[in-house]
Amino acid sequence: MEKRPADNRIVLPLLLVTVLTMFLLLHDLFGGTLLKATDYNSYTLQAMAWRSGSFGLGKDYPWLELAVYRGDWYVSFPPVPTLVMLPLTFLFGTGTPDNLVMLGYALLMVLAAYYSVRRIGASERASAFWAMFVALGSNMLWMCTDGAVWFMAQALNMVLCLYAIFCAVSRRRVLSLIFTALAVGCRPFSILLFLPLLALFIEEDIVEKGMSPKAAVLSQWKVLIGPALIGLCYMIFNYARFRNPFEFGHSFLPEFNRGEPQFSVSFILRNLPNIFRPVMLRKNLSLSYSIYDGFLFFVANPFFVILFTRLKKLRPYQWVALAAMVVNLVLLLMHRTFGGWQFGARYTVDLLSYAFLICLPGLKKTPRNWELFLGVFAILFNLYGAVAMHFLHG
C-alpha cells in the first residue's frame, strides 16, 4: 500500500457541504420536498407491519408493486432497506421522510468512494473528484432526490457495494463480504460482487503470503461465515412469507401473472437496443430521449467511459469483476421492462460498483483534463435529469 499524500482537511468538508447544498437546492425547486414521505413508501409500510407482528401489509396499496399471496399483500422487494426504515418509524411513523433518507445515502456513497480512492494513494482533491463522479455523475443523482421504493433499493445497494469495496482495499475482508451480503438484500444480482472480491483476496494471499492457489482458495471459508448467516436469514424470511426460501415475492406480483413473465431470455434482444438509444437534438435544439426502458447508458453514466479506457493490463481480479459485470448486465436485460420509467438506463447504475473496482488502482493519478471535463459533464447532465424528471416527465 502506497503512502497517502498529506491530508488537506478542508477538502472533505467542502465536498460534503457541496453535496448537501445541491440536494437542498433541488428539493427547494421541487417544492420543499426533502422532509416529505413519498407515496411509494413500501419499506416504511413494511416496517410498520413488522412492528405490529405481521409480514403482510394487511391491505392492498394498488399503486405499489405488492405480491399477493394467500389473501394478504407483501412487499415484493428484498428486505434490507426496511431495516433502515424500521428505527426511523418509531420517530416518524408512516410519515418517515424517505427523501431525507435518500440524501443520507447520497452522502454515504460519496464518503465510501472518497475513502476508497484515498486509500489507494490518491490526493484529497483527486479523491473528491472521483467520489462525486462515480457516486453522483450518474442517474443515481436523480434517484437520490426521490425516496420511492425502487430508487431506495438501488441507492442502498450502491452504498453497500461501495463500502464493500472500501473495506476490501482496507484489508477488512469479513466486513467487506458482510456489506456485499447486505447488498444482495437490496438487489439480488449483487451476489455477483462476491466473485471479484474473493478473487482479490485470493490474489493478495498468493502474491503477498506466498500461498498456493489451492490453499488461497480454501482459506477464504472464514470470511464467508458472516455472509452465509445473512443468506440464511434471507431464506428464513422468504420461507416464512412464501414457503420458498428463494422467493422474495416477485413471482406473486399480479402484473407478472397476467401475461409476460418478469424475467425471460427472450427479453435480452428486446432490451439491448434500448440502452444504446441516442440522445438527440430537435430542430429547436431541445433534447429528445426516451424516458421508458432506457437510453444510451454511458451518456447518463459516463464513468463507464473511464472504464472503457482502462481495459488493458488488468489483474486477475479485475478480469473477474469485468466478467461479473457483464453477467449482471445480461441478467438485468432479461427483465421485462429494463426499469420502466426512468432517466437514462437506471439499472446500469448497479454495474458502477464493478466499474469502480476495476478502475480503482488507476484513480490514484491526477485526473486528466478530459476526465475532469467528463466528470463535470456527468454531474451537469444528471442535474438536468433530476430537474427534467420532476418538472417535464413527472
> Model confidence over 70-120: pLDDT tens digits?
999 999 999 999 999 999 999 999 999 999 999 999 999 999 999 999 999
The pLDDT confidence band at residue 1, using thresholds 50, 70 and 90, is very low
Nearest to 72, CA basis, from 58, 55, 54: 58
**345-376 pLDDT per residue, tens:** 999 999 999 999 999 999 999 999 999 999 99
Q: How many whole angstroms separate alpha carbon 285 and alpha carbon 27?
A: 27
Residues 64, 40 contacting (CB under 8 angstroms)? yes
Burial degree of 211 (CB within 10 A; 0-12, 13-18, 19+): middle
> How many other C-beta atoms can be found within 10 angstroms of the C-beta atom of residue 69?
18
Residues 187, 153 contacting (CB under 8 angstroms)? yes
Q: What is the mean pLDDT of residues 149-160?
A: 98
Burial degree of 53 (CB within 10 A; 0-12, 13-18, 19+): exposed
Does the pLDDT value for residue 307 go beyond 80?
A: yes
| The pLDDT of residue 259 | 76
Model pTM above 0.85: yes
Nearest to 193, CA basis, from 172, 178, 214: 178
**Please, what is the end-to-end C-alpha distance for the chain in angstroms?**
47
Q: How many whole angstroms separate alpha carbon 126 and alpha carbon 99?
A: 29
| The pLDDT of residue 143 | 97
**222-277 pLDDT per residue, tens:** 999 999 999 999 999 999 999 999 999 988 998 887 778 889 999 999 999 999 99
Hey, what's the cell of 247?
422467493
Residues 354, 284 contacting (CB under 8 angstroms)? no
Residues 102, 152 contacting (CB under 8 angstroms)? yes
Please report, for the chain, the start and end positions of each structural domain, with discontinuous segments joined by +.
11-391
| CA 308 vs CA 82, 190, 324: distances in Å | 36, 21, 16
Q: What is the mean pLDDT of residues 200-216?
A: 96
Nearest to 151, CA basis, from 341, 355, 330: 341
DSSP code, position 335: B
> How many other C-beta atoms can be found within 10 angstroms of the C-beta atom of residue 286?
9
As a whole number of Å, the CA-based R_g of the chain is 21
Nearest to 15, CA basis, from 125, 123, 94, 97: 125
| The pLDDT of residue 262 | 86
| The pLDDT of residue 218 | 96
Phi/psi of residue 69, nearest 5 degrees: -150, 120
Residues 65, 253 contacting (CB under 8 angstroms)? yes
